[in-house]
Amino acid sequence: MREYLVFTLRGPMQSWGTASAVGEVRATAGRPGRSGVMGLVAAALGIRRDRPEALEKLHGAARIAIRADSFGERMLDYHTIQTPPSVRNVTYYTRRDELMNKVCKDQLSTILSRREYLADAAFTVCVWLEGDAGYGTEDMREALLRPKLTLYLGRKSCPPGFPLLPETLRAANVAEALGQYDSLHGEQFVAKGKRLAQTQLWSDAGHDIPGVEERSTLYSVRDVLTNSSKRQFGIRQERHFILQPQQKEADHVHE
């Protein structure tokens, strides 16, 4: 038996970073990744970017599985953005302060940006730890209930539109943990009429669900935080598979 942290991510808009997270076209992945999920957990715990060792420790110990409850619809937003030049040794505490600086006002330039979002998407996240994260799953649950920093779904313009409903659950594997979570929260976090015909999961190794390797697709994903100060990411292996109906039904049976 292992302890899992399970919670839901649902909002009007979500956007999860990919290789095109910077530049004119900023696409979104079709689901949250480890960096985005653990970045949200880190914000809830109050870990800022000026604590790179704590961030890297948390990201390195965490493993995740993502269940798609609703993929939503992709939405493309066209932006024109004013950008001032950087000024050495000057710290701006607000965007207004930066734009009102005389040097910056005289040298404002405009860039174009197309940003992609997932509209009305919903996912259930399952997190477990392999190693010392500096925090336990119960600490994370408490933090998600009372976050120390603002939470958002990938980008600051994407706040959660629904309570995260975090739970810590003891289960034999990820499928059982998700089944227990559904028993607790039922249909609360799934949009009516948008239930997927198949239950799709993307999971790190260690999910412990029997028989997955024979019926899954293995992907390489670059979203493991390795250097927080330089925003560098390493590669992990992720399996995509369909959770079989018999497994889902079995996981709703409690001892």
What CATH number does residue 222 fall under?
A: 3.30.70.2660
Q: How many CB atoms lie within 10 A of CB 178?
A: 26
Whether 209 is in a domain gets the answer yes
Q: Which two tokens stand for residue 108?
A: 């404002």
DSSP designation for 23: S
State which H helix or E strand residue 234 sits in: strand 232-243
Q: Residues with Cβ < 8 Å from 165, sequence gap 6 or more? A: 7, 8, 185, 188, 189
Query: 73 and 118 in contact (C-beta within 8 Å)?
Result: yes
Please list the ranges in the chain whose pLDDT falls under 50: 191-193, 246-255
Structural domain harbouring 62: 2-72+117-251
In a domain, 235, yes or no: yes
What is the CB neighbour count within 10 angstroms for residue 166?
22
The answer to whether 18 touches 221, Cβ cutoff 8 Å, is no
Using alpha carbons, select from 146, 136, 155, 167 the residue that is nearest to residue 8.
167
The predicted structure's pLDDT at residue 254: 46
| Token pair of 104 as six digits | 């910056």
97 occurs within a structural domain: no
Beta strands 199-203 and 167-171 are: unpaired
Whose structure tokens read 């956007």?
A: 15
For residue 60, give every residue at least 6 positions away whose Cβ sits within 8 Å of its Cβ, in sequence order, or none.
131, 133, 224, 225
Q: β-strand 217-227 against 62-70: which pairing, if any?
A: unpaired
Q: Tell me what pLDDT residue 103 has.
A: 59
Tell me which residue of 2, 38, 3, 48 sits closest to 17, measured CA to CA. Answer: 38
Residue 66's φ and ψ, nearest 5 degrees, are: -120, 125
Segment holding 136, helix H or strand E? none
Query: What pLDDT was estimated at residue 255?
Result: 44
Query: For residue 229, is it within any domain?
Result: yes
Domain count, the chain: 1
- Contact present, 222 and 59 (Cβ < 8 Å): no
Residue 106 lies in a domain: no
What amino acid is encoded at 170 in this protein? R
Judged on CB neighbours under 10 Å (0-12, 13-18, 19+), 86 is exposed
Q: What is the tens place of the pLDDT at every residue in 24-62?
A: 778 888 999 999 999 999 999 999 988 999 999 999 999
111 within 8 A of 78, measured Cβ to Cβ = no
pTM: 0.83
- The CA–CA distances, whole Å, from 174 to 38, 73, 158 equal 17, 27, 27
Domain annotation covers residue 95: no
Which of these, 166, 165, 156, 139, lies nearest to 47 by C-alpha position? 139
What's the pLDDT at 253?
Answer: 45
For the record, the structure tokens of 192 come out as 């009516």
